[in-house]
Amino acid sequence: MTTATPEPVPAVEVDVVSPDRREKVDKYGRPRRGRGSGNAGLGSRPGFLTYGLLAAFVIGGAYPLWWSYVVASGTNATRGETLPLIPGGNFLANAAQVLDAIPFWLALWNSIVISSTITISVVTFSTLAGYAFAKLRFRGRDGLMIFVIATMAIPTQLGIIPLFMVMRELGWTGEIGAVIVPTLVTAFGVFFMRQYLVDVIPDELIEAARVDGANQIRTFFHVALPAARPAMAILGLFTFMMAWTDYLWPLIVLSPTNPTLQTALSQLQSGYYIDYSIVLAGAVMATIPLLILFVVAGKQLISGIMAGAVKG
Amino acid sequence: MTSTLTPPTGTGSDGDDSRPPRASRLTWRQRISIFDVKASPYAYVAPFFLLFGLVGLFPLAYTFWVSLFDWDLLKGQGDFVGMENFWAILNDRFFWNSIRNTISIFLLSAIPQLAMALLLAYLLDQGLRAKTFWRMSILLPYVVTPVAVAIIFSSVFNEADGLVNNLLNLIGIPDQQWKHDTFLSHIAIASMVNWRWTGYNTLILLAAMQAVPRDLYESAAIDGAGAARRFFSVTIPSIRPTLIFVVITATIGGLQIFTEPRLFDVSNAGGIGGADRQFQTTVLFMWELAFFRRDFGEASAVAWLLFLLIVAFGLVNFLLSRRVATGDARGGRRAARRAARKGADA
Amino acid sequence: MKLSRHTKVAAALAGAASVALLASACSSDGGGTDEAASDEPITLTITTFGTFGYDDLYEQYMDENPNITIEATNIDTGGNARTDAFTKIAAGSGLSDIVAIEEGWLGSIMEVSDTFVDLRDFGIEDRSGDWVDWKYAQATDADGRVIGYGTDIGPEGLCYNGVLFEEAGLPSDRAEVAELIDGDWEHFFDVGRDYQEATGKAWYDHSGFVWNAMVNQLDEGYYTADGELNVEGNAELQERFELLGAATEDGLSAAQAAWDWNGGKSFVDGTFATFVCPGWMLGVVQGNTEAGGGDASTGWDFADVFPGGAANWGGAFLAVPETSENQAAAAALADWLTQPEQQVAQFEAAGTFPSTVAAQDELAANPTPNEFFNDAPVGEILAGRSVGVVAQFKGPDDSVIQENVFGPPLQKLDRGEVSTQEAWDEAIVLLDELVG
């Protein structure tokens, strides 16, 4: 719920399935047409009420975002209107004010660098460790895995005070490295990859690779990595989102002069005088990158979230 | 990266010792191979454990150390005070205030959110046309970051002429004090959480609903159970593990809520959660102690107390979910039969 | 809302600012520049906050000293600058070569004053007579080290809305208003009661700022001159609190949220008629009025009067941290920026009132009408308002006491949720919990 919340922790056995695989299962599990796939819609198609309720919810959910854009493209007075619907023509002017008020491009760049680095690191280390836990035999494996599961629930962000002191010792405060390092690995990532790889790679495949004379690292690259790709994409998306939305730690360890997008955005609200059309222009501008990501990778995001659910 | 790590030396030789007769006959290549098999797993998991120990566990342990001292942000480590910081915090009404606020905001967000997500997942599980469109639309608010959400909603809940009050005025309700009033401010903050997360949880519940065997519904329907009864007697019991999982994540996250209260009324009293701390959460209280009042010692004590609280919540949830998970496989069917029987009786 | 808005405000505040004024402004020929006169290229970093109006001065300095490159950062508010500075002091690195420090949190900086260099090593003693004496004294720590070049001060005058005054049947002319208000706080509130009776509207925006002014005016505020906490049992303080409480209970406060004022709209729609205004606040009033959709015709004016006599709120210093690698060059720049000539330029750019005597005299001698404030000669008025200001010792928790000890009960008082006595009692409890 807060910024550093670990992404969904599958509580029981998880089967991360790519969208098309699930699709097949669905089609296999029930008649192709006629009967609604829904539990209540036995023998009937969803009616007007269903669509109406959903549409109402979607419109209600999207309106705050639209409202932000309307105010951001209007004037400070627009905020006081009742249910404004039509955007004005000031968005670019207000956006220019945002660029004056906060180091927006620097913040955007910092956020991209931070989130990308964390994503690459988390996905790499999680895949390596997840593969080892899923498919390799070694002493202490089960104990270590239980340890990983146990630490998933630990709110590591409560360690910010010593982390701050460590960064001070290292002289890293104010540098984006200080934001990156504490999240280079997550227990959730390891668990997620392990759960995926356990099912998806047949043991015989690894055995076969070994018989063919492939060493461990070759096996990893030629067998595990291709199989892990869909889960890596999903883990990458979640990790990116988590790093991108984080606020508490960057707020503490970075300064307003070298911010992330989130800490820069929060500064907009605390001037000596507040023009809400500019503040909301900032909020809209900061949302655009993720909106783009959403349009491009929304389907993966959805299947990723749904894959995190428990197999019934 | 494997080359940079020294694998535990004992492993390889242990392996060799276990079959001394053959060891002498092993070629150099075979030795390498055995070493490879034995050591590689450790090399794969080592980076995770090293880094996690360094940036995850060590800070938590060190937090406890700091909490035993007078420790000023600027002046650094002071005298050893033992448990005094903990007693001070446990006797601090602002700490308990922050706990109350946190739990109140958590309940106000978790319960309506779950109910809403259940309803939406149920609607989405109806074999809709353009289902990807609906799923993406439901998820849309999730891409707005908490900071942006807080900024947008603090405007929406502006007490003088924000959107919410304007709409209330339309139906004849006077302006409400969304930021000043304790309960209303909790509702406002919970609504930010709900807005961003309802769609997300809907999709998780939807996935679980889709996995419910269809024959359960069919037999219930044949036995005369109506849609509502099928929902409560078949769907809900079948997806209970998922529900519990959603509650666990919501709990861990909800107890650490920071961004929304921090930015809800940012220019008032330094943004510590309302002038009267009416919506100051525990993490926000910790932040205030550490970086506003510069008391690292007491702030660390708060971090540890909150940590214990979260672990306690987590354990309760874990035990609960284990009990449910074990009895569940047949639970769903039993419930379905029960529902069917009741339906038939009625 | 920061830079470009500032420019707008700055341009307005400068009004018909004449080049002649700049040229004629007395100058002592930047004594400190000698040390930086070597040809070695040096990059200096400087961090300011709010409205400092230094941009043109940086350019000028770089033109005059080709080997110097200035990299400037401006943080939006003093509060954020405080957090930034504290975090960097705590981090032991990251401070700029020159750091602007606000008077309100100077007290806590003084606790760690050895983080900053003793400017006596760079000849600040020779200039000690430049500043009003209390400004120089404020920058001196317990060991006699001087850690800051004074930039501006915040002498307080009264902002009032002439249009609203007229509607209430009060005089609206600047001089008449000064005469009307002249007196102690009780008198100020009594005039407010008349206004409230005539219009049914509030007199001032919220109690917090008024309280701030009432405390800042005392010889000793939340701390005694020796640095002892001075709130509980301080009869003088409590008496003022009761005055304010009585006025608030009579409905004189508009119970506004500070630093928001409903997005500036409350400055425009007649919610309140007066506002306590240190020099730097003039830009805030104008910015909020404009953000709220108003302009000069909204009626804001600036009177040469303040209840209870002279008072100061805010002002800043430029300090050089020990961690700076270019201490001499940084001190030279800070020295130059705080010369009277530059302070006059700063006032014209940002409305911050100079802390050096020569610059104040300059402004007093060359009144420039300010268009937004009904052509009030704000520089001249502020020069008058600065006479008689006394230095008040700011303790380490001064800003916490202001914002978190007295702030919350005053807000409740504003909303009529507690009585004056209850508010005072709550403040004492909070003081005990947060500071004690």
Query: How would you classify residue B281: left for phi > 0, otherwise alpha for psi between -120 and 50, otherwise beta?
Result: beta
Q: Which ipTM value was assigned to this complex? A: 0.84
Residue A312 confidence (pLDDT) above 50: no
Final residue in a domain of this structure, among B8, B40, B67: B67
Chains touching A, CB cut-off 8 Å, 3+ pairs: B, C
Nearest to C309 by CA among C381, C389, C244: C389
Number of domains chain B contains = 2
Q: How confident is the model at residue A213 (pLDDT cuts 50, 70, 90)?
A: confident
Predicted pLDDT of residue B14: 41
Of A96-100, B295-299, C260-264, the range with the lowest mean pLDDT is C260-264
Is some CB atom of chain A closer than 8 A to the CB atom of C287?
yes
Predicted pLDDT of residue C182: 95
Residue C391 confidence (pLDDT) above 60: yes
Same domain? B221 vs B307: yes
> Does B334 fall in a domain?
yes
Predicted pLDDT of residue C19: 33
Predicted pLDDT of residue B300: 94
CB contact under 8 A, C93 and A252: no
CB contact under 8 A, A174 and C91: yes
In the predicted model, what is the mean pLDDT of residues A295-311? 76
Same domain? B61 vs B139: no
Predicted pLDDT of residue C388: 87
In the predicted model, what is the mean pLDDT of residues C178-189? 96
Is some CB atom of chain B closer than 8 A to the CB atom of C92?
no
Q: Per-residue pLDDT tens for A44-98? A: 577 888 899 999 999 999 999 999 999 999 888 888 888 888 898 899 999 998 9
Q: Per-residue pLDDT tens for B49-106? A: 999 988 888 888 899 999 999 988 877 888 999 999 999 999 999 999 999 999 999 9
> Does B73 fall in a domain?
no
**In whole angstroms, what is the distance from residue B28 CA to residue B11 CA?**
17
Q: Is C396 helix (H, G, I), strand (E, B) or coil?
A: coil
Q: How confident is the model at residue C217 (pLDDT cuts 50, 70, 90)?
A: very high
CB contact under 8 A, B294 and C86: yes
Q: How confident is the model at residue C235 (pLDDT cuts 50, 70, 90)?
A: very high
Is some CB atom of chain A closer than 8 A to the CB atom of C387?
no
Q: Per-residue pLDDT tens for C270-318? A: 999 999 999 889 988 998 999 888 999 999 999 999 999 999 998 999 9
Same domain? B41 vs B102: no
Write down all domains in chain C, each with its CATH number in brackets: 2-153+314-363 (3.40.190.10), 156-311+396-434 (3.40.190.10)
> Does B7 fall in a domain?
no
> Does B8 fall in a domain?
no
Same domain? B144 vs B178: yes
Of A130-144, B21-35, B251-265, C257-271, the range with the lowest mean pLDDT is B21-35
In the predicted model, what is the mean pLDDT of residues B16-34? 63
Residue C244 confidence (pLDDT) above 50: yes
In the predicted model, what is the mean pLDDT of residues C83-111? 87
Is some CB atom of chain A closer than 8 A to the CB atom of B124?
yes
The residues of A whose Cβ lies within 8 A of any Cβ of C are 75-77, 79-80, 96-97, 100-102, 164, 167-168, 171, 173-174, 252, 255-257, 267-268, 270-276, 278-279
> Does B130 fall in a domain?
yes
**In whole angstroms, what is the distance from residue B233 CA to residue B332 CA?**
8
Predicted pLDDT of residue C357: 94
Same domain? B245 vs B280: yes
Which residues in chain C have their CB less than 8 angstroms from residue B73's CB? 86, 90
Residues 218 through 277 of chain C touching chain A, CB cutoff 8 Å: 259-260, 263-265
Is residue C14 within a helix (H) or strand (E), and if so which, with residue range? helix C3-14
Of A106-115, A179-188, B228-237, the range with the lowest mean pLDDT is B228-237
Domain of B253: which CATH number?
Answer: 1.10.3720.10
Residue C69 confidence (pLDDT) above 60: yes
Q: Per-residue pLDDT tens for A218-266? A: 888 888 888 888 889 889 988 999 999 999 999 988 887 789 999 999 8
Query: How would you classify residue B78: left for phi > 0, otherwise alpha for psi between -120 and 50, otherwise beta?
Result: beta
- Is residue A161 within 8 A of residue A172, CB to CB? The reply is no
Q: How confident is the model at residue C435 (pLDDT cuts 50, 70, 90)?
A: confident
| CA distances from residue A210 to A202, B14, B36 in whole angstroms, order as listed | 13, 22, 11
Nearest beta carbon to residue C284 from set A270, A272, A276: A272
Residue B167 confidence (pLDDT) above 50: yes
In the predicted model, what is the mean pLDDT of residues B223-236? 86
**In whole angstroms, what is the distance from residue A312 CA to residue B332 CA?**
10
Q: How confident is the model at residue A157 (pLDDT cuts 50, 70, 90)?
A: confident
Q: Among all residues of chain C, which has the CA nearest to that of B289?
A: C434
Neighbours of A100 (CB within 10 A): 17
Final residue in a domain of this structure, among B67, B102, B129: B67
Same domain? B149 vs B291: yes
In the predicted model, what is the mean pLDDT of residues B118-146? 91
Q: Among all residues of chain B, which has the CA nearest to that of A186?
A: B52
> Does B55 fall in a domain?
yes
Min Cα–Cα distance to chain C from B313, Å:
30
Predicted pLDDT of residue C28: 38
Predicted pLDDT of residue C275: 96
Of B244-248, C113-117, C153-157, the range with the lowest mean pLDDT is B244-248
Of C81-90, C126-135, C179-188, C329-338, the range with the lowest mean pLDDT is C81-90
The pTM assigned to this predicted structure is 0.84
Neighbours of C129 (CB within 10 A): 11
Same domain? B193 vs B318: yes
Of A174-188, B7-21, C70-84, C107-121, the range with the lowest mean pLDDT is B7-21
CB contact under 8 A, B208 and A298: no
Same domain? B37 vs B144: no
> Does B232 fall in a domain?
yes
Q: How confident is the model at residue A42 (pLDDT cuts 50, 70, 90)?
A: low
Give the domain range for residue B258. Answer: 84-345
Which residues in chain C have their CB less than 8 angstroms from residue A101's CB? 1-3, 76
Residue B326 confidence (pLDDT) above 60: no
Q: What rounded mean pLDDT belongs to chain C?
A: 87
Same domain? B88 vs B61: no
The pair of structure tokens assigned to C176 is: 């008449």
Same domain? B274 vs B310: yes
Which residues in chain C have their CB less than 8 angstroms from residue A97's CB? 1, 4-5
Residues 107 through 136 of chain C touching chain A, CB cutoff 8 Å: none
Nearest to B135 by CA among B82, B57, B210, B189: B210
In the predicted model, what is the mean pLDDT of residues A124-150? 90
In the predicted model, what is the mean pLDDT of residues B102-123? 93
Predicted pLDDT of residue B257: 93
Same domain? B35 vs B101: no
Predicted pLDDT of residue B152: 94
Predicted pLDDT of residue B24: 58
Which residues in chain C have their CB less than 8 angstroms from residue A275's CB? 1, 5, 263-264, 291
Same domain? B191 vs B46: no
Final residue in a domain of this structure, among B42, B67, B92: B67
Is some CB atom of chain B closer than 8 A to the CB atom of A46?
yes
Of A176-190, C383-397, C408-422, the range with the lowest mean pLDDT is C383-397
Would you list the DSSP string of C110-131? HTTGGGB--GGGGTGGGGGGGB
Q: How confident is the model at residue A308 (pLDDT cuts 50, 70, 90)?
A: low
**In whole angstroms, what is the distance from residue A284 CA to residue A67 CA?**
10
Is residue C345 within a helix (H) or strand (E), and if so which, with residue range? helix C340-350
> Does B99 fall in a domain?
yes
More confident residue, A202 or C38: A202
Neighbours of A280 (CB within 10 A): 30
Predicted pLDDT of residue A214: 74
Q: Per-residue pLDDT tens for A269-302? A: 777 777 889 999 999 999 999 999 899 988 888 8
> SS3 string of chain B?
CHHHCCCCHHHHHHHHHHCHHHHCCCCHHHHHHHHHHHHHHHHHHHHHHHHHHHHHHHHHHHHHHHCCEEEECCCEEEEECCCHHHHHHHCCHHHHHHHHHHHHHHHHHHHHHHHHHHHHHHHHCCCCCCHHHHHHHHHHHHHCCHHHHHHHHHHHCCCCCCHHHHHHHHCCCCCCCCCCCHHHHHHHHHHHHHHHHHHHHHHHHHHHHHCCCHHHHHHHHHCCCCHHHHHHHHHHHHCHHHHHHHHHHHHHHHCCCCHHHHHHCCCCCCCCCCCCCCCCCHHHHHHHHHHHCCEHHHHHHHHHHHHHHHHHHHHHHHHHHHHHHHCCHHHHHHHHHHHHHHHHHC
Predicted pLDDT of residue A151: 82
CB contact under 8 A, B137 and A265: no
